[in-house]
Chains A and B, each alone.
Chain A
């Protein structure tokens, strides 16, 4: 039982960045912009979030308040960075995959450059403790308490709130419906008076917010509040894209997909603690490979009936028919 508690406690902080970033990718893609730049947006958000934590960590603020403020900083940073993508994709009608790739390449280099010149390290190292040992009252509930309310991070709960908000925006608002129209058939959307350019900007901005927050949550929940320019976010932006495809561009399915991947990853990094797996004597690197291998297997089975937005990746041109 303790092993199960341990796995769940460690899985949730890993699942949250994946979930949020995949939701971000979803909002961008249902609007019609392919967001390969998620990895870069995450790292950009994480970097500014961590930088904020580094600046305020001496001032004696409550860690959870710092986390909330850092989250806001990361969200703003994510939006700013995503504007570079939407400008190229919407206004300049550039190839979205190329632009995204260049944005992914820019950030690790910029972080390394900045950190090496001004912080004399390979990234931002903070020593703030965001870890929650036990939430008062709720942590005492049998079974559920140790599963969800002990040894966790605030990020898990914020993630759930953001998921609920995303579901409401996606299914219950005029905006969500319009955004989806822009990704499926932008010309039809335009003909009924929806401004496709604005909607695509909005979709990408939401992905910037969620991507930035997701990046910061990665640095809090996985990297202990640090950001490193060399490893970045370890391909989580790309994994999130796979999660999004696996989740068929639907919020709740994305939740389960991200839990699945987070579980595999947690398993890979805690092999030494699970006697059964440890006794098998398989190289630990093999387990690290598992999430990626599983992605491929899952995609192989789900992609045939892929429900990708029809107009994704195609720049919208008013004069085209």
Chain B
């Protein structure tokens, strides 16, 4: 009897401690959103083309494993834009302008890559840093508008997405060194400006992913271990309380947006400075007046990762993984856009997944309690 009782108590204890772990709870709600999103995607596939739905779905879920290198390669820019969105989100700012910052970063990197004459050993590093500065500049704008003029950062950053995109397209089309007009694309970058490849055959994966992961870890440390990180989180939780406690809200808004912009700009730099699999060529930019999709994917990455830097790494890799799977699904007649649908549904659900999560958890808790009561009763009866 004694034994049984103690194991029961142990069980109860374990359950409570699991429920109290914040990280796990946000993880499980993210997981729930992912499952719902994938189920929705499967239903869409079933409706669109019933015959090959199963094969297509298999490609989406498992296809990425065959192309690990590419998964990490495509995860690099969205990890950076995801960090940019998530970092601002920690402060309660919704940085929907990661696209513009990303595009600006790209342009600054391209400019340094083509126009500056630097020793080949440091050229790519300078180009990456230039990308960061470009992004910072474009993050500074919404920050200053919000801090000094009280303009909602969502509207500002959307407007600056368009302004940045048109500006970059205009500047690139105006430069004969960068732009090849008969290909309507930018020229290939000289090889010393390209980020060193990791040398995985058949894939473009480069040093960028490692740098991105290091940056994510640095951000984690900044958020957890520094005064600035503490102030940032405090402002995000309660603006008025933190102001009352003497934190300089306006200054922190600007700094946060500048850092967020810099992160997105680095994403742009990592994307455009990447070497391509074809020898001697590199990634190119096509000025066609369309806002960079990677910025919006960054929102998905950040939300799925609960704005936590480490969570963002995982969610960036996950989203990149199903995106690769989506391109494979086109082998059986689907279009890669299915993944954008799935990702949008995942975000939709993740916006209220925590509520659903508590509901489900409560359900299980009640269920368990009832069970426990029943077993307690039976124990008493036995005694």
Chain A contacts to B: CB under 8 angstroms: 36, 84, 88, 92-95, 97-99, 101-103, 105-106, 108-110, 112-113, 116-117, 229-231, 235, 238, 241-242, 245, 283, 285-286, 288-289, 292-293, 295-296, 299-300, 303-304, 306
Contacts and interface: CB of A to CB of B under 8 A. Distances in A.
Contacts of B170: 283, 285-286, 289
| Residue picked from B96, B159, B166, most chain A C-beta under 10 Å | B159
Contact of B154 (A36, A88, A117, A289): A36
Nearest to A235: B162
B347 A299 contact: no
Given A93-B352, A97-B94, A231-B290, A113 B154 contact: no
Main secondary structure of the interface of B (DSSP, over half): helix
Given A97-B94, A98-B303, A289 B150 contact: no
Contacts of B48: 113, 117
B345 interface: yes
Contacts of A283: 170, 174
Nearest to B49: A117
Given A105-B299, A292-B166, A306-B150, 10 more contacts: A84-B348, A95-B351, A98-B347, A101-B296, A105-B340, A105-B344, A106-B345, A283-B174, A289-B166, A292-B159
Nearest to A288: B166
B163 A116 contact: no
Interface in B124-171: 145, 149-152, 154-156, 158-160, 162-163, 166-167, 169-170
Contacts of B299: 101, 105
B300 interface: yes
B290 A230 contact: yes
A105 B319 CA distance: 15
B127 to A, nearest CB: 24
Contact of A299 (B155, B296, B343): B155
Interface in B191-249: none
A112 B337 contact: yes
Contact of A92 (B159, B335, B355): B355
A53 to B, nearest CB: 23
B273 to A, nearest CB: 25
In the A-B complex, the 6 residue pairs with the closest CB atoms: A109-B340, A106-B344, A92-B352, A102-B347, A94-B352, A94-B351
A84 B343 CA distance: 16
A288 B289 contact: yes
Contacts of B54: none
Nearest to B356: A92
Interface in B159-193: 159-160, 162-163, 166-167, 169-170, 173-174
Contacts of A293: 159, 163
B156 A285 contact: no
A289 B94 contact: no
Given A97-B154, A98-B347, A112 B162 contact: no
Contacts, number: 132
B352 A285 contact: no
A303 B159 CA distance: 15
Interface string B315-335: 000000000000000000111
A228 B149 CA distance: 36
B294 to A, nearest CB: 13
B338 interface: yes
13 contacts: A84-B348, A92-B356, A95-B351, A98-B94, A105-B343, A105-B344, A238-B158, A288-B289, A289-B166, A292-B159, A299-B145, A299-B149, A299-B155
Contacts of B159: 238, 242, 292-293, 295-296, 299
A112 B341 CA distance: 10
B355 A94 contact: yes
A88 B262 CA distance: 32
Contacts of A289: 162-163, 166-167, 170
A277 B334 CA distance: 47
Given A101-B96, A102-B345, A88 B352 contact: yes
Contacts of A94: 351-352, 355
B75 to A, nearest CB: 18
B337 A109 contact: yes
Given A113-B335, A231-B290, A93 B355 contact: yes
B155 A242 contact: yes
A104 B294 CA distance: 15
Nearest to B348: A102
B36 to A, nearest CB: 12
A113 B337 contact: yes
Given A292-B159, A304-B149, A285 B303 contact: no
B348 A299 contact: no
